Amino acid sequence: MTVARVTRSLATAFVIGLTLTGCGSATPSPTGSAAALGGDITVYAAASLQGTFTELAASFEAANPGTTVVLNFAGSSALVTQIIEGAPADVFASADTDNMARLTDAALGDGEPVDFATNVLTIAVPPGNPAGITDLTDLTRPDVRLVACAPEVPCGAAAETVAASAGVTLSPVSEESSVTDVLGKVTSGEADAGLVYVTDVAAAGAAVEGIEFAEAASAVNTYPIVPVTGSASADVARAFVDYVTGSGGAAVLRAAGFGAA
């Protein structure tokens, strides 16, 4: 072999070696890594989730600067009716499984709902408990102005269950469309007592007092959440659901008094 041929062969081998070395040391492809989220979503959530979801939405936005979470709180039955009728929701979080079933039966759930929290009822009374309420049976007294949720609302359905468990008949002077409305009647002095969730009493602080009763265990409400089909920001909706159902969401919910699902 001539000197010229040897030189060309060595040069070729050197170039091939550099090419192979470069391929082996290249930065791995980002395929499969989480891309930056961007987009707005509207979350329809049960009224009892107002405090926790407000906190979670803010921390989710902070972790994902390209996103905006708009929150709409009301009774679960009203929310699912609005979604079925075409309201532009991206995520639905219900205070019970029955109203979630209405959504999925209408083929409006994008995937399987995930249970993320539980809650039970307690009796809310004004500070000092002027009516002297001690247990569930006291709510049947004719001198007690009781306020509860309407039966189609999860907290109302739970109230009916605990009453049946205790063998009593409750006769509220007012039936409200959300648990926050019940609490408002108590804090404003329009009611002597209201059946609300333990988390509502905890969130109200000194504005009310809570009276626990044994029959509450007969009506444990489970909270499911799911993205809504047709979302223009489906990736953000799914990420928010994952955030709520993950360890960060669980910590916020447990701190507010919600039980594990």
Binding-site positions read: 48, 76, 179, 197
* Sign of the torsion formed by the C-alpha atoms of 89, 91, 96 and 100: positive
Determine the length of the chain.
261
Q: Find all residues with CB under 8 Å of 61, minimum gap 6, and list them.
A: 67, 68, 69
Full DSSP string of 124-177: EE-TT-TT---SGGGGGSTT--EEEE-TTSHHHHHHHHHHHHHT-----SEEES
Print the SS3 string covering 126-138: CCCCCCCCCCHHH
Decide if 114 contacts 250 (C-beta within 8 A).
no
Quote the CA–CA distance of 99 and 223 in Å, as a whole number. Answer: 10
Half-sphere exposure of 242 (CA within 13 A, CB side): 6
For the beta carbon of residue 88, count every other beta carbon within 10 angstroms. Answer: 15
Decide if 37 contacts 235 (C-beta within 8 A).
yes
Strand order in the sheet with 209-211: 174-176, 146-149, 193-197, 121-125, 209-211
User: CA geometry: angle at 256 spanning 252 and 258, to 5°?
Assistant: 95
Binding site feature residues for molybdate: 48, 76, 179, 197
